[in-house]
A and B are shown apart, each in its own frame.
Chain A
Amino acid sequence: MSARYNEILQATKRAIREVDATEARKLIDQGAAAVDVREQDEVDQGVVPGSIHIPRGFLEQRIEDAVPEHSQTVVVYCAGGVRSAFAAKSLNELGYTDVVSLAGGFNGWKNAGEAWHVPATLTSDQRRRYSRHLLIPEVGEAGQHKLIDAKVLLVGAGGLGSPAALYLAAAGIGTIGIIDADTVDDSNLQRQVAHTLDRVGMPKVESAKIAMQGLNPDLDVVTYQVRLTKENALDIFAGYDVIVDGADNFATRYLINDVCVLLDKPNVHGSVFRFEGQASVFLPHQGPCYRCLFPDPPPPELAPSCAEAGVLGVLPGTIGLLQATETVKLILGIGEPLVGRLLLYDALATEFRELRLKRNPACPVCGDGAHVDISTIEYTDAVCAVPSLASAAD
């Protein structure tokens, strides 16, 4: 090393504060942000748990996204403590007021016996495919791994299920289950964009699988070409983290709701009618369920289906993508989920409205002390009532 370089390094080290591994761990335990400024191939070998990876070359550019508060304590580390010293100085110059550099770097950290782990890594293909996710601090590599590890079940491969399936596949959800008993018909193609003309007659779940894997060959698509019934629902739902309700009838919607409450799984709800859509997230026991909102389904003569009433083809696209967005948020654990809120979209007026929903403590399914036995419920469109309450309720 040149004398000039050593001079600069020593001057830099004098200008910043260095801490040893024990002190760094204390700061991190107290809420300091740990920023790893090494290169990807070094990070792949092991990291400080909870650290944020920003390669030294991108530090100034990206740090304010990752650590927005300049007063936040930041522990910077590299492999040996040199790059992090320069990085700390740079962060001071950017206005961060409480920055320390880990003396001895990650090697010193490991030698001191502090906790570390090898991060799950993305392949270079995945890094390219998901690069726009990796750039968002709220997603990043840890978030992308959550998406890859997630299992989402789409009930319905129709108007709502199609756009949800395409975008969830593109987002990298690792396992997507899709349940639908129907086959593709040419009258579906006005809105069910996962299917194509040359797949008319094919089971919708197979057609949707081709569409999803065409976008993203990595993902595991599990197809269920059956009607959802109270006999098969518990077994199918058990393997998934989030259920997306894109059903086209009340019987299925009440069944989805009741099973989600029983298994404590989020139910991402969407429905459409002509120019109007509704969406909500029913998170069992934390917010209302579908039955808190609608204890009983309407009689059939008051609830015309889309087959009878029609629907603007683009509308389920909007609602299905709201469902996909909420699903991704739930998996990442970011933002404010649409829990306890019913979002209404009027496509004709181009108007979004939001209504507040509350959990009903007396709800027959999710209420305090309620225990629903789905084997006793008749899931047909006009019934779906919980027997003990249907007569007692009003």
Chain B
Amino acid sequence: MADTGAISVAIPTPMRRFTGGAANVAVTGTTLAEALVDLGQQYPDLGGRIVEDDGRIRRFVNIFVNGSNARDLQGESTPVKAGDELTVIPAMAGGTGR
């Protein structure tokens, strides 16, 4: 169960148009890379905005695993398990000047 249960992914507002508006979606996998592949399969338009073609996380996006940046853990190889919470954080420019 630990390896196959759901991992929740918090989708930021700017990317919710690719998940049909869903703020949280469920994926499976034993590593972050696998979880992101599953995310890309479920939401093809979202996948390409988070990872490069070769599966690396794009440089203007951060994925946090239970509150810690995957870049500070083991990157795409970071182990994940059921119950973990992934958070996708894109750079946002808005200060609402105009």
- Given the contacts A276-B13, A303-B14, A356-B68, A248 and B94 also touching, CB distance less than 8 Å: yes
Inter-chain contact A182/B97, CB cutoff 8 Å: yes
Given contacts A304-B14, A394-B59, contact A356 B67 (CB under 8 A): yes
**Contact (Cβ within 8 A) A275 B13:** yes
Which B residues are in CB contact (< 8 Å) with A158?
95-98
Find out whether the CB atom of B90 lies under 8 angstroms from the CB atom of A307: no
Q: Pick the contact of B98: A182, A245, A346 (CB < 8 A).
A: A182
CB of A306 within 8 Å of the partner chain = yes
* Beta-carbon contact of B96 and A272 below 8 Å: yes
- Does the CB pair B69–A356 fall under 8 Å? yes
Of chain B, the residue at the smallest CB distance from A162 is B96
Partner of B95, one of A248, A303, A342, A394: A248
Q: Do A354 and B91 have beta carbons less than 8 Å apart? A: no
Complex CA–CA separation, A182 to B98 (angstroms): 9
Q: A273 near B98 (CB under 8 angstroms)?
A: no
A5 to chain B, nearest CB (A): 64
Are B96 and A316 interface neighbours, CB within 8 A? yes
Judge whether B43 is part of the interface by a CB distance below 8 angstroms: no
Contact A246 to B95, CB < 8 A, known contacts A273-B13, A298-B60, A394-B59: yes
B5 at the interface (CB under 8 A from A): no
- B87 sits at the interface (CB 8 A): yes
Q: How far is the CB of A303 from chain B (nearest CB, A)?
A: 6
Assess whether A295 is in contact with B59, with CB atoms less than 8 Å apart. Answer: yes
Q: Shortest CB–CB separation between residue B24 and chain A, in angstroms?
A: 10
Would you call B12 an interface residue if the criterion is a C-beta within 8 Å of the partner chain's C-beta atoms?
yes
B2 at the interface (CB under 8 A from A): no
Nearest B residue (CB) for A270: B95
Interface members, chain A 89-144 (any B CB < 8 Å): none
Q: Is the CB of A393 within 8 A of B95?
A: no
Contact yes or no, B94 A311, CB < 8 A:
yes
Given known contacts A355-B69, A360-B71, is B98 in contact with A305 (CB within 8 Å)? yes
Q: Considering the chains assembled together, what is the distance between the CA atoms of A309 and B12 in angstroms?
A: 14
Cβ contacts under 8 Å, B58 to chain A: 298
CB contact between A316 and one of B10, B12, B91, B95 (< 8 Å): that residue: B95
Contact B72 A358 (CB under 8 A): yes
B 59-98 to A, binary, CB cutoff 8 A, 1 in contact else 0: 1111010011101100000000000000101111111111
Decide: A271 and B92 in contact? CB cutoff 8 A: yes
Q: Within the complex, what minimum Cβ distance (angstroms) separates A137 from chain B?
A: 33
Asked if B56 and A355 sit within 8 Å, CB to CB, the answer is no
Residue pair A191, B96 in contact (C-beta under 8 Å): yes
Are B94 and A272 in contact (CB-based, < 8 A)? yes
Question: Contact: B95 with A245, CB < 8 Å?
Answer: yes
Select which of B61, B62, B98 is within 8 A of A307 by beta carbon: B98
Q: Is B22 among interface residues, defined by CB-CB distance under 8 A?
A: no
- Whether, in the assembled complex, A156 has its beta carbon less than 8 Å from a beta carbon of chain B, the answer is yes
Q: Are B89 and A249 in contact (CB under 8 A)?
A: no
A105 to B9, CA, bound (A): 65
Contact of A248 with B93 at beta-carbon distance under 8 Å, contacts A356-B68, A358-B72 already known: yes
CA distance A273 to B72 in the complex (A): 26
State whether A298 touches B91 (Cβ < 8 A): yes
Determine the distance from Cα of A271 to Cα of B14 in the docked complex, in whole angstroms. Answer: 12
Q: A274-B13, A304-B14 are in contact. Are A160 and B95 (CB under 8 A)?
A: yes
Listed in ascending order, the chain A residues whose CB lies under 8 Å from chain B are 156, 158-161, 180, 182, 185, 188, 191-192, 245-250, 253, 270-276, 278, 293-298, 302-307, 309, 311, 316, 342, 344, 346, 348-349, 353-358, 360, 381, 393-394
A158-B95, A271-B94, A355-B68 known; 14 other A-B pairs, CB under 8 Å? A159-B96, A160-B96, A248-B93, A271-B93, A273-B94, A274-B14, A294-B59, A302-B49, A305-B93, A306-B94, A307-B98, A316-B95, A353-B87, A356-B64
Q: Which 6 A-B pairs have the closest CB atoms?
A: A159-B96, A248-B97, A158-B97, A298-B60, A276-B13, A294-B91
> Can you list 7 A-B pairs with a CB-CB distance of less than 8 A?
A161-B95, A248-B98, A272-B94, A344-B87, A353-B10, A354-B67, A394-B59
